[in-house]
Amino acid sequence: MCGIIGFVGCEEAAPILLDGLERMEYRGYDSAGIAVRSETKGLQVKKCKGRLKVLSELTHGGADLEGTLGIGHTRWATHGEPNDINAHPHISENGQIALVHNGIIENYLEIKEHLMKLGVTFTSDTDSEVVAQLLEFHYNECHNMLEAVGRVLRRIEGSYALGIVCSDYPNALIAARKDSPLIIGYGENGNFIASDVTAIIKHTRDVVYMGDGEIAVLTADSVDVFDDEMVPLEKKHSTVDWDVSAAEKGGYAHFMFKEIMEQPEAIRKTISPRIREGRVVLDDVSVTAEYVQDISRIFIIACGSSYHVGMVSKYNWERLLRRPVQVDLASEFRYSDPLVDEHSLVVVISQSGETLDTMAAMREAKRRGARTLAIVNVVGSSIAREADDVLYTWAGPEIAVATTKAYSTQLVLMDLIGLYLADLLGTVEKSEYDDILVEVQALPEKMQSFLDHFEDVQYFASRYFNHNSIFFIGRNLDYAMGLEGSLKLKEISYIHSEAYASGELKHGTISLIEPGTLVVALGTYAALFDKAMSNVVEVKARGAEVLAVTTKSFQEKMEKTADSTIVVPDTHPILQPSLGVVPLQLFAYYVALQRGCDIDKPRNLAKSVTVE
């Protein structure tokens, strides 16, 4: 997704902007640009299609652009193809206003037509340029930039995070947001705006999260924030508590690999503050036993891998709570006229906390009276701020587009919540509660023991990387886990892959199995292991090559039938996906490596999907 950075201070802006943009590269982009203003040279803009390296070369590392006030942008095309002209910043017709924009202006065509009738000439195909031209139009009318920004914001519809520089305001950076993240950073040598904390963490941890409808004016030594009526606001400061090294590769070849290896620690950080004296403690959630008794249905809503966490949790929560749990894709839920009311608990899961569909689904659920609980990794993100309750996964910054440690921490946090709710409902035996909790606490160590010796996964990846189509099969929790394994493989290796509930094979899919087809058979769910084995035998009989993932307990049985077997440690059945998914992440990683793919920045994908 697009990235924004802005700086105003007493250092040269261009190198700071380029560095900030580089730190947001992981979000995905197709073009980049910066605009810097100086007394002598006025507004200077450089932008181009392609990687930041090109922009950096074009500007000699920023040295060509003089000035201590500027804005930068990485663009992920929505309106208009990726090219130099459509790249941001966009400049108003008279060259006096430069603007960067994240989000989508829904009524841009109508405004564009109106301005064109008034004689304004447009150069790009973007919705964002419309904002720059409209701003100039209003500024020419009122000669007051803040007033002009206010008029523009009242006219445009859609989502936006905006960074604005105007020649007439040599010391001010203006920012505004609605439904697209934007933070303000307070530095020693100046102040910042950014769409992502990683862009400015090197300079400051003192940040303010801008709210919807807010406008900010930054100078080198002041920051003023206003609401949409231009009433000044007192904003609460937050401290970013992770270190800059957390967002760097630290010697690893890829962020994805680093993040896979960080999983035991991320799980430890997520669970340890929430387990005290043998009980699950959720300090931030204020639910009573009466409230939980009154819930008639639980909805889990998310997208992508977060949705797959929901799939695992559906099985686990229904088993623990004996209550109906429905998992919905956020993009479907929001338009489905959902049967949600004040007796529904709606749990939304989102690593970024900015996924537009998930946010819209949550708002829809709230509108219908449901209570919402958000599981989020990014502190202060939009979903975290709007949910009734929020529980953070403490995975630290996740940079690779393909999620690993965020998925694992979401999974274990959902297990803790399930246990907590079951305890309130009285639907879990004390002995089982205790067993699960002991095993939750043992997960980091067990996961580490697997991560210390995964050479076989690497070997199997080198053996199977040239398959063009790979099937993942499994039952119950193994099926839910297979969905994630298949998505990991698809997104970074570009191999076609499907995950099926094993029992569904003979209802159609088995016709696709032919001699040599690779089937990844998941057999970690003890209760259905024998059924899973029958399906392995079925695909073997049709000539499939079977790579199996199973537990130590079932290793011997599995090895008799499968061609290759990966073994993970045993744990309590409901926690088994937490261990089983690790070889699937590593398999996807090494297959993608063998195929020479851009692992951290897979084609066409973005880290957080802030558009519909």
Q: How far is the CB of 403 from ligand AGP (least distance, A)?
A: 4
Among 461, 584, 609, 610, which residue interacts with ligand AGP (rule: CB under 6 A)?
Answer: 609
Any contact of residue 403 with ligand AGP (CB under 6 A)?
A: yes
Largest CA distance in the chain: 80
Q: How far is the CB of 85 from ligand AGP (least distance, A)?
A: 29
With contacts defined by CB under 6 A, how many residues of the chain interact with ligand AGP?
15
Q: How far is the CB of 604 from ligand AGP (least distance, A)?
A: 12
Q: How far is the CB of 271 from ligand AGP (least distance, A)?
A: 19
Q: How far is the CB of 480 from ligand AGP (least distance, A)?
A: 14
Any contact of residue 351 with ligand AGP (CB under 6 A)?
A: yes
Q: How far is the CB of 235 from ligand AGP (least distance, A)?
A: 25
Name which of residues 490 to 549 contact ligand AGP (CB under 6 A): 491
Q: How far is the CB of 464 from ligand AGP (least distance, A)?
A: 21
| CB of 130 or CB of 311, closer to ligand AGP | 311
- Backbone phi and psi for residue 607, each to the nearest 5 degrees, phi listed first: -70, -45
Instruction: State how far the Cα of 572 lies from the Cα of 526, in Å rounded to an integer.
Output: 10
Write the interaction track for ligand AGP spanning residues 474-493; mark x where CB under 6 A is met and - where it is not: -----------------x--
Among 304, 474, 523, 580, which residue interacts with ligand AGP (rule: CB under 6 A)?
Answer: 304
Among 306, 493, 517, 610, which residue interacts with ligand AGP (rule: CB under 6 A)?
Answer: 306
Exposed e or buried b per residue across 466-500, where buried means at least 16 C-beta atoms within 10 angstroms of its C-beta: ebeebbbbbbbbbbbbbbbbbbbbbbbbebebebb
Name which of 137, 79, 147 is nearest 111 in CA terms: 137
| CB of 499 or CB of 539, closer to ligand AGP | 499
Any contact of residue 355 with ligand AGP (CB under 6 A)?
A: yes
Tokens at 130, concatenated: 């419309």
Any contact of residue 358 with ligand AGP (CB under 6 A)?
A: yes
| CB of 92 or CB of 403, closer to ligand AGP | 403
Q: Hey, what long-range contacts does 239-248 have (CB within 8 A, 24 or more apart)? A: 239/205, 239/206, 239/207, 240/197, 240/201, 240/205, 240/207, 240/379, 241/205, 242/201, 242/396, 242/397, 244/201, 244/202, 246/396, 246/397, 247/23, 247/198, 247/201, 247/397, 247/399
Among 99, 135, 260, 401, which residue interacts with ligand AGP (rule: CB under 6 A)?
Answer: 401
- Backbone phi and psi for residue 318, each to the nearest 5 degrees, phi listed first: -65, -35
Any contact of residue 593 with ligand AGP (CB under 6 A)?
A: no
Instruction: State how far the Cα of 597 lies from the Cα of 591, in Å rounded to an integer.
Output: 9
| CB of 35 or CB of 330, closer to ligand AGP | 330
| CB of 69 or CB of 489, closer to ligand AGP | 489
Instruction: State how far the Cα of 221 lies from the Cα of 188, in Å rounded to an integer.
Output: 9
* Adjacent-strand bridge partners of 224: 217
Chain-centre distance of CA 21, in angstroms?
A: 18
Instruction: State how far the Cα of 302 lies from the Cα of 308, in Å rounded to an integer.
Output: 8
Instruction: State how far the Cα of 547 lies from the Cα of 542, in Å rounded to an integer.
Output: 15
Residue 505 buriedness (CB in 10 A; 0-12 / 13-18 / 19+): buried
Name which of 465, 466, 469 is nearest 588 in CA terms: 465
Q: Which positions are annotated as active-site residues?
A: 2, 607
| CB of 8 or CB of 414, closer to ligand AGP | 414
Any contact of residue 259 with ligand AGP (CB under 6 A)?
A: no
Cβ 364 vs Cβ 319: under 8 Å: no
Q: How far is the CB of 241 from ligand AGP (least distance, A)?
A: 20
| CB of 124 or CB of 403, closer to ligand AGP | 403
Any contact of residue 305 with ligand AGP (CB under 6 A)?
A: yes
Among 102, 331, 372, 608, which residue interacts with ligand AGP (rule: CB under 6 A)?
Answer: 608
Q: Which residue is nearest to ligand AGP (CB)?
A: 304
Reduce the DSSP state of residue 232 to 3 states and report it.
strand
Task: Tell me the DSSP string of 467-503.
Answer: -SEEEEEESTHHHHHHHHHHHHHHHHH--EEEEEEGG
Among 402, 443, 513, 546, which residue interacts with ligand AGP (rule: CB under 6 A)?
Answer: 402
DSSP class of residue 542?
Answer: T
Among 92, 126, 270, 350, which residue interacts with ligand AGP (rule: CB under 6 A)?
Answer: 350
The site for ligand AGP (CB under 6 A) is made up of 303-306, 350-352, 355, 358, 401-403, 491, 608-609
